[in-house]
Structure 1
Amino acid sequence: MKISIVYISIFTALAQAASRTSPPSGAIVVAKSGGQYTDLQSAINSIPASSTSSYTIFIQPGTYNGQVYIPNTVKGKITIYGYTTNDQDYNQNQVTLVNSLGADVAGSNDASGTLRAHSTDFKVYNINIQNSRGSGVQAIALSTQGNQQGYYGCKLLGYQDTLLANKGTNVFNKCYIEGATDFIFGQQAVAWFEKCTIAISGAGYITANGRDSDTNPSYYVINSSSISLKSGVSSSVKTYLGRPWRAYARTVFQNTAMSSVVRPEGWSTWSVALDNVYYAEYGNTGDGSKGTRVSWAKQLSSPLTLAGIIGSTSWIDMNYWNNVSSGTTTTTTKATTTAAATTTKTTAAGGGGCTQSLYGQHDIVDTAILFFGWGRAIVNTYVNIVYAGIYFLK
């Protein structure tokens, strides 16, 4: 008697394409024409600094040139939405903030930022933020200098020092972050990156954490994300996961898909002693995760948790985090049936390029899958995937 195994994968997906193409009620509208303001800075300036009310700003499609500064004197919560046809996919963003300014001219890293966010309780959705200065100088796209800041479905575009995650607690969910040299860096921020796409545009280092003492809270965690070359960049380009800007640098990559763009040694040195540097990994996949790492880096026995690093998560948009969109939803249903016996990869829902393994090949039985859908139905319905194994005896 011969036993054969046939795997039948039945995917029933309730696809909800969530758009945000009109302003929420009461929002301040920024538009090239027809809005209350023609630039974001003017909208920010209209908010009374002493007010503790919450404010929503909606930006109509377009490219908006110039710097934007949100001072720490602003007391109210600010949420900024960019026009999008799918709020779970940064590729559908239709609003770009762009400026070209290097730190050499601006006088400091923060001062060069296209968006300089210094206030607390600040959220940004579906906006592209770019410093177009180019290579050869530090030029920040986004500078975070406040507590409880969340960035959802955004694209951060630069070359050297794209993201200055410098102070407070920051989360980045389903974002695209592009650069070459130290393009995620800062000194005091606790920053969590979830389902983000990290795109390498040139040889260098992804992170440069500047934690300078054992009492400094700074911690960078990149979780369930992907690292790959920017489209069109030579395959000869390689990068390190990070190098320590200060002697207590602390960074972890976990559950992240790493292409061969990541150097086999993983981490690099800088000009500081390594005794107190904490660089670690857990559960990473892909060719870039397979190399022999430097002896002073660590492999964790269990993953870090969001609450364990960030603390209270009450300020984080967990609906967006769990693929439940807040825009206007259009629901379509798709059903497919496929037979498979090999490992399959897919793009994570709405992640704009975050690659995860949905099911892997085992000797006898593949693992079951629970896959969260995206969008928001009236009752906030999640997507369930049914995975069935059918055994035939011959």
Structure 2
Amino acid sequence: MRLYFPLFSLLSVALAAGRTSPPSGCLVVSKTASSGQYKTVQSAVNALSTTSTSPQCIFIYQGTYNEQVYIPSRKAALTIYGYTTDTSTYTGNTVTITQKLSQDDVANNDLTATLRAHSANFKLYNVNLVNTRGQGSQALALSAQADKQGYYGVQFHGYQDTVLANTGAQLYAKCLIVGATDFIFGQTATAWFDRVDIRVLAASIGYITANGRDSESNPSFYVINNSNVAAASGNSVKAGTYYLGRPWRNYSRVVFQRTSLSNVVNGEGWKVWGSSDPRTDHVYYGEYANTGDGAKGTRAAFAKKLASPVAIETVLGSGYQSWVDRSYLS
């Protein structure tokens, strides 16, 4: 019998690369730490200088790390790598950082996050960030609070407010983002989501984005590019349950483009914040060349069908190539 393999499959196998040992100069985190290594991610972060200007890195071996990680502002660029046999995807990730803080426990959203990233020029590769709190309160997997941050092959799991893209220019590429309520949200960040799998949980109603742009001068802009939206594995989600977004503030700005939308997306596309508080007078909600059953239907009157796609430079700036790992872009 002759076997046939599509060319793209052969290319994928050829191009897949692993990262199974620490890059030179990295601090090492391991569940079975030996001399010179660290048992928790936070202890490795704490060992780094915040005043050095030389690039820094941390490598994490396989395992589940039950902790909250805080990365304070620093002068150096920092990269954290998770052990993986395939850096090109999140599906083979073997490192998970998890905890369950919510606003039932602490004073604000940022303090609930599994990873509190407050440092500019930060990259994270092939790590799963999980907040297990579930329904009932804001509980973040990520609080991204600084400029020029990139997340590559990362999984983000939560229910309400999973990813806080809050400040500066940010990139999310080849990632998985899971949630139900306002689970991509923030106030001033410009964020580009590229080849991201957005997965929604069983709920009576859900909202993917809640952008909090509050004025014409606020730079915040979320663009979901060449991605896809569908029900999370093991979740039964009725057709039309989810909306692409609702406005946390009334200058909210979000675009979905060239993205596959399954039937979990409501034909209206977008939703007001609340029946007595719509917040739609200055929103910019657009779509371009989306496909799938969720791209059909009569969209909300305050949404736009765009004549052309938004360019990555519009969101991240003309100098984005200096800090973005372009090998992950579509």
TM-score range, shorter chain: over 0.9
The counterpart of 2:302, out of the listed 296, 313, 324, is 296
Give the structure 1 partner of residue 288 of structure 2.
282
Tell me which amino acid in the other structure corresponds to 1:83: Y
Unaligned stretches of 5+ residues in structure 1:
1-8, 323-394
Q: Provide the C-alpha distance between the structure 2 equivalents of 1:131 and 1:235, rounded to a whole number of angstroms.
A: 21
* Higher relative contact order, chain-length normalized (CA < 8 Å, sep 6+): 1
- 1:205 alignment counterpart: 207
Equivalent residue for 1:140?
A: 140
Partner residue in 1 for 2:51 = 50
Structure number with greater Rg is 1
Deviation at 1:275, TM superposition (A): 1.7
Give yes or no for contact 2:222–2:253 (8 Å, CA) kept in 1. Answer: yes
> 8 Å contact 1:245–1:272 — kept in the other structure?
no
Contact persistence 1:211–1:248 (CA under 8 A): yes
- Map of 1:167 onto structure 2: 167
Instruction: Please give the TM-score of this superposition, normalised by the length of structure 1.
Output: 0.78
Question: Equivalents in 1 of 2:44, 2:179: separation in Å?
Answer: 29
Structure 2 Cα separation of the partners of residues 293 and 40 of structure 1: 45
Q: Is the 8 A contact 2:195 2:329 kept in 1?
A: no
Q: Normalization by structure 2: what TM-score? A: 0.92
| 1:159-179 Cα distance to aligned partner (Å, 9 max, x none) | 000001111111000000000
Contact 2:141 2:157 in 1 (8 A): yes
CA gap of 1:124–1:10, structure 2 versus 1, over 3 A, is closer
Write out the 4+ residue segments of structure 1 that deviate beyond 6 Å after TM superposition.
none
In angstroms, what is the RMSD of aligned CA positions? 1.4
Secondary structure at 2:208 match in 1: strand
The number of equivalent residue pairs is: 313
Match of 1:316 among 293, 316, 324: 324
- Structure with greater strand percent: 1
Structure 2: gaps (5+ residues) = none
Cα distance between partner residues in 1 of 2:33 and 2:145: 32
Q: Deviations over 1:326-351 (max 9, x none)?
A: xxxxxxxxxxxxxxxxxxxxxxxxxx
- Per the alignment, residue 257 of structure 2 pairs with 254
User: How far off its partner does 1:10 sit?
Assistant: 7.2
**Counterparts of 2:18 and 2:6 in 1: how far apart (Å)?**
28
Q: Is the 8 A contact 2:170 2:192 kept in 1?
A: yes
Aligned mates of 1:88, 1:10 — CA distance in 2: 19
2:105 paired residue number:
105
Q: Aligned letter for 1:318?
A: R
Q: Secondary structure at the match of 1:172?
A: strand
Provide Cα deviations, 1:242-294, integer angstroms capped at 9, x if missing partner.
Answer: 00000100000000000000000000001243221110000000000011101
Aligned to 1:235: 237
**Matching residue of 1:16:** 15
CA deviation vs aligned residue, 1:300-346 (integer Å, no higher than 9, x gap): 10001111211021100112336xxxxxxxxxxxxxxxxxxxxxxxx
The alignment-based identity, stated in percent, is 54
In structure 1, distance between residues paired with 2:156 and 2:233: 15
- 1:266 paired residue number: 269
1:217 Cα deviation from its structure 2 partner: 0.5
1:89 aligns to 2:92 (yes or no):
no
